[in-house]
């Protein structure tokens, strides 16, 4: 009797499954229409709340921003889970892409169990809180913030002071280790609920190719730029050894991490005075020029806007000038970190900066406006396609325009009477390489470590060991003192506890040079790539705009082809740009060992 009942239950289950109504394409389209409308509404609401919070930092605006953001994230995750019922349904290409992106835009998937979802949210909030409130406190009770410790690393040349600052910041992260371990478990579960193997699989699936193929792409790009990085590394190591001595810097080993002017050794431009060539004077001082011309913050932004209008883009809307933040208010705290916004997904464009009249902010303004003009260019796309072709494109576009701030551009603006002699270029290229080239391996390794953690290849028992193994492999740097698993050095980098994917920055540092090379060619530039500027070229502007308007509607190789004619990322553009510097570096280190 029991066997008969079991058989009947099995047959009933098979019958009900067979008679379930399969979803249709029309139902999928209707579902996606509702999703796009609601996510657009919640996104605009969250953007306005975030803008107010960034410009009026109070307890209440933080609460309002948190709630608005939570509503958006919860809705996105809920819709992504609902969308799984359409898996396997043959859909039109654009609709299928929207369903794919609905899942892939989620960087922190929460488990289906509400209690576990709440636990994951609490953990990530707590880890960010630990980082944000982090202070290094000395035995005498003096406590130093990240900004103060970073200032020491940037300006001090005392090895003991540098070591204290470097070690001090890393005292804030060991308490994250337990939370981070649980975060990995819960986020992986959330990714599996969406049909992915783990969180790393979800992240790498966002690049229009299988994760394994994407990893191979990253390896190929790194192989292209590694010789340039090795030459820069060897030169910097030689100059640091000359300054600090053989007891501090080895002749042929990794560079101690605390000597490179940055808390994470990700950019080295702060040590430029130690490594500058004899002919380091570029022949002009952009900061002095701007100040002598009595340039004000609005005029700084007007210069940036004029760059884009010279390419054929429409001027910024009046609301941009009415609603942006250009200077730091005297009556309240604001987030001064530069950022570009489009609050209504149409043309409510804004930047938020505390502009200083100097060369750095002049470059930053051009970069941020690159985001704004990108945002406006794709504003005719549906909600799911509002974004850059992949997450590296947005940053790359802003940096591409900044690469056109060359002596030629400054002559066109009337800042210089003529371009300085090419003999002045070495110092300019070296300073830029200490920023751009030095960053490449760091931009790559952060997620290399996390993907190994998410997959289980790296276990909690070897978090720190694996971290430093990758930093040695890619960067050729080593900790200045012994580290152990009592430490949790990955947590001392914001993007790790904050769950922010990092490979986008590596891609941006490759793509910006590829974009610049293609646009310079379109503009008819025939000289050295590092001297080219696309300012005033309508042809380059038209080529750029064609790609910008595509947004996220097509796979990134198609967007890349629209701008460059190429369907593969090519880090050889970095090599082309820095070719004169590479030759100079190799001459300087011809008697020095390379590698580590």
Choose, from 40, 154, 338, 478, the residue flagged as catalytic: 338
Flag whether 227 is in a domain: yes
Please, are residues 594 and 230 in contact by the beta-carbon 8 Å criterion?
A: yes
Q: Count how many Cα atoms sit within 13 Å of the Cα of residue 479 in the half-sphere of its side chain.
A: 19
pLDDT for 14 equals: 45
Our answer to whether residue 505 is catalytic in this structure is yes
Flag whether 478 is in a domain: yes
Residue 1 has pLDDT above 60, yes or no: no
Q: pLDDT tens digits for 158-195?
A: 999 999 999 999 999 999 999 999 999 999 999 999 98
Flag whether 516 is in a domain: yes
Helix H or strand E encompassing 351: strand 349-352
Q: pLDDT tens digits for 243-271?
A: 999 999 999 999 999 999 999 999 999 99
Distance CA 474, CA 595 (A): 10
Kindly state the average pLDDT of the residues 53-77: 84
Flag whether 89 is in a domain: yes
342 beta partners: 349
Our answer to whether residue 535 is catalytic in this structure is no
Residue 2 has pLDDT above 70, yes or no: no
Flag whether 318 is in a domain: yes
Identify the domain containing residue 445 by its residue range: 132-282+430-503
pLDDT for 15 equals: 43
Same domain, 420 and 434: no
Phi-psi region of 194 (alpha: psi -120 to 50; beta: other; left: phi over 0): alpha
Choose, from 185, 495, 561, 566, the residue flagged as catalytic: 495
Distance CA 423, CA 279 (A): 8
Torsion of CA 326, 332, 335, 341, to 10 degrees: -50
Look at residue 20 and give its three-state secondary structure: coil
pLDDT for 492 equals: 95
Residue 35 has pLDDT above 70, yes or no: yes
> What CATH number does the domain containing 459 carry?
1.10.1370.10
Please, are residues 508 and 220 in contact by the beta-carbon 8 Å criterion?
A: no
Q: pLDDT tens digits for 78-109?
A: 999 899 899 999 999 999 999 999 999 899 99
Choose, from 374, 505, 535, 577, the residue flagged as catalytic: 505
Choose, from 20, 337, 461, 587, the residue flagged as catalytic: 337
Choose, from 258, 366, 367, 509, the residue flagged as catalytic: 367
pLDDT for 63 equals: 82
Look at residue 339 and give its three-state secondary structure: strand
Flag whether 586 is in a domain: no
pTM given for the model: 0.91
Please, are residues 570 and 507 in contact by the beta-carbon 8 Å criterion?
A: no
Same domain, 43 and 189: no
Q: What percent of the chain has pLDDT over 70?
A: 97
Element counts in the chain: helices (H) and strands (E): 24, 6
Look at residue 235 and give its three-state secondary structure: helix
Q: pLDDT tens digits for 132-154?
A: 888 999 999 999 999 899 999 99
Same domain, 188 and 273: yes
Distance CA 514, CA 576 (A): 10
Distance CA 100, CA 115 (A): 27
Same domain, 56 and 163: no
Model confidence at 19, pLDDT cuts 50, 70, 90, reads very low
Flag whether 560 is in a domain: no
Helix H or strand E encompassing 136: strand 136-137
Same domain, 139 and 270: yes
Could you give the residue ranges of the DSSP H alpha helices within 20-143?
25-55, 59-82, 93-104, 114-132
Distance CA 143, CA 136 (A): 5
Same domain, 350 and 274: no
Q: pLDDT tens digits for 275-333?
A: 999 877 888 889 999 999 999 999 999 999 999 999 999 999 999 999 999 998 888 87
Model confidence at 20, pLDDT cuts 50, 70, 90, reads low
Same domain, 186 and 290: no
* Mean confidence (pLDDT) of the chain: 92
Kindly state the average pLDDT of the residues 419-438: 92
Kindly state the average pLDDT of the residues 543-569: 97
Same domain, 370 and 493: no
Same domain, 328 and 197: no
Q: 415: Cβ–Cβ under 8 A, 6 or more apart, which residues?
A: 284, 286, 289, 293
CB-neighbour burial class of residue 156 (10 A; exposed 0-12, middle 13-18, buried 19+): middle
Model confidence at 447, pLDDT cuts 50, 70, 90, reads very high
Same domain, 398 and 356: yes
Our answer to whether residue 409 is catalytic in this structure is no
Please, are residues 76 and 109 in contact by the beta-carbon 8 Å criterion?
A: no
Our answer to whether residue 230 is catalytic in this structure is no
Structural domain total, the chain: 3
Nearest alpha-carbon partner for 274 in 160, 430, 477: 430
pLDDT for 130 equals: 87
C-alpha distances out from residue 281 to 186, 403, 514, 522, 569, Å? 53, 19, 28, 31, 34
Q: Compute CA 215 distance to the chain's CA centroid, rounded to the nearest angstrom.
A: 17
Choose, from 233, 258, 366, 371, the residue flagged as catalytic: 371
Kindly state the average pLDDT of the residues 525-533: 92
Q: 14: Cβ–Cβ under 8 A, 6 or more apart, which residues?
A: none
pLDDT for 8 equals: 39
Same domain, 357 and 447: no
Identify the DSSP state of 342.
E
pLDDT for 334 equals: 77
Flag whether 528 is in a domain: yes
Same domain, 479 and 337: no
């Amino acid at each position: 009797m029991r066997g008969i009942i079991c058989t009947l239950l099995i047959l009933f289950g098979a019958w009900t499954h067979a008679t379930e109504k399969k979803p249709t394409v029309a139902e999928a389209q209707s579902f996606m229409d509702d999703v796009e409308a609601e996510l657009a509404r919640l996104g605009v609401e969250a953007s306005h709340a975030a803008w107010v919070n960034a410009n009026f930092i109070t307890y209440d605006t933080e609460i309002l921003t948190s709630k608005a953001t939570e509503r958006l994230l919860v809705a996105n995750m809920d819709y992504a889970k609902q969308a799984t019922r359409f898996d396997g349904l043959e859909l039109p290409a654009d609709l299928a892409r929207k369903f794919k992106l609905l899942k892939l835009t989620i960087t922190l998937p929460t488990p289906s169990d509400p209690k576990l979802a709440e636990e994951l949210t609490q953990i990530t909030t707590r880890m960010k809180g630990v980082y944000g409130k982090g202070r290094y406190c000395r035995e005498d009770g003096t406590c130093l913030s990240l900004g103060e410790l970073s200032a020491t690393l940037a300006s001090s040349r005392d090895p003991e002071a540098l070591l204290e600052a470097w070690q001090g910041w890393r005292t804030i992260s060991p308490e994250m280790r337990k939370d981070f371990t649980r975060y990995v478990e819960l986020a992986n579960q959330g990714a599996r609920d969406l049909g992915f193997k783990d969180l790393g699989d979800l992240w790498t699936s966002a690049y229009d190719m299988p994760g394994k193929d994407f990893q191979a792409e990253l390896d190929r790009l790194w192989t292209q730029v590694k010789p340039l990085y090795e030459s820069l590394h060897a030169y910097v190591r030689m100059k640091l050894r000359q300054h600090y001595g053989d007891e501090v810097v080895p002749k042929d080993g990794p560079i101690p991490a605390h000597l490179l002017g940055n808390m994470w050794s990700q950019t080295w431009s702060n040590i430029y005075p130690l490594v500058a060539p004899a002919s380091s004077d570029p022949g002009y001082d952009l900061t002095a020029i701007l100040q002598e011309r009595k340039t004000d913050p609005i005029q700084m932004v007007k210069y940036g806007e004029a760059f884009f209008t010279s390419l054929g883009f429409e001027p910024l809307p009046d609301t941009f000038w009415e609603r942006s933040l250009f200077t730091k208010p005297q009556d309240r705290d604001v987030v001064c970190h530069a950022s570009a916004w489009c609050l209504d997904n149409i043309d409510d464009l804004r930047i938020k900066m505390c502009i200083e009249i100097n060369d750095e902010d002049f470059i930053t303004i051009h970069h941020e406006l690159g985001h704004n003009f990108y945002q406006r260019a794709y504003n005719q796309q549906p909600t799911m396609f509002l974004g850059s072709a992949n997450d590296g494109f947005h940053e790359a576009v802003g940096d591409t325009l900044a690469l056109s701030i060359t002596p030629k551009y400054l002559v066109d603006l009337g800042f210089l009477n003529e371009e300085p002699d090419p003999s002045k270029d070495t110092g300019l290229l070296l300073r830029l390489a200490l920023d751009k080239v030095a960053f490449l391996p760091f931009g790559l390794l952060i997620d290399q470590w996390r993907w190994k953690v998410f997959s289980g290849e790296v276990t909690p028992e070897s978090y720190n060991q694996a971290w430093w193994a990758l930093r040695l492999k890619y960067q050729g740097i080593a900790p200045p003192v012994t580290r152990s698993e009592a430490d949790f050095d990955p947590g001392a980098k914001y993007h790790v506890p904050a769950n922010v994917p990092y490979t986008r920055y590596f891609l941006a540092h490759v793509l910006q040079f590829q974009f610049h090379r293609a646009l310079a060619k379109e503009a008819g530039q025939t000289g050295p790539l590092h001297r080219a500027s696309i300012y005033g070229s309508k042809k380059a502007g038209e080529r750029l705009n064609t790609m910008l308007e595509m947004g996220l509607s097509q796979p990134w190789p198609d967007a890349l082809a629209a701008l460059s004619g190429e369907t593969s990322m090519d880090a050889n553009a970095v090599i082309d740009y820095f070719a004169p510097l590479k030759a100079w570096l190799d001459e300087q280190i011809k008697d020095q060992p390379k590698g580590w």
